[in-house]
Amino acid sequence: MNSTKPNINITPLIDILLVLLIIFMVISPIKPTDFKMKIPQESKQDGDTNLKTLIVALNSDSSLKLNTENDLGVVEEPEKLILRLAQIFKERTKNRVYSENAELNNDLTEDEKIEKTVFIKAPRTIDYGSVAKVIDAVKLSGANPISLQISDLK
């Protein structure tokens, strides 16, 4: 009697593993690996503020304020704030107002060089959902990066 032992053919298994390896090698450079952020510069001793600094303040009554401009809507209806920020970014693009050290960086596109940093300031009593809505509104205006200001919270 001639009995043959069963063989397991591992060639298809190796083929599948190689295809998966290639897929992961192609996908891994695509996923984002960095987080852009800016830290606000310390204020100068003489009280001067940087004219490029944009601070969106969320007041305890849910009203929105941009630097010294009041009446820019409320958390639930931030359209005035979105339009105002978009207008500022359009003016900065037209006037070529660049971020610090961005003008000399040739790796950035013209749009990436424009100063579009926005800081969001809110009191501790405001709920997280309201702050998230303001962040979304600021994103819609074209701001990048968006930072949270944690000093001087009331």
Other C-beta atoms closer than 10 Å to the C-beta of 150 total 11
**Mean pLDDT, each 10-residue run in order, the chain (154 residues):** 78 93 83 58 50 84 87 87 89 81 72 83 86 89 82 52
* SS3 call for 49: coil
Other C-beta atoms closer than 10 Å to the C-beta of 18 total 10
Encoding tokens for residue 147? Answer: 């930072």
pLDDT given at position 42: 55
Percent of the chain at pLDDT > 70 equals 78
Q: What is the pLDDT of residues 44-70, one digit of tens each?
A: 544 445 577 888 988 888 889 888 888
pLDDT given at position 114: 81
Task: Quote the Cα angle for 9-13-17, to 5°.
Answer: 155
Q: Hey, what domains does the chain have and what are their CATH numbers? A: 54-148 (3.30.420.270)
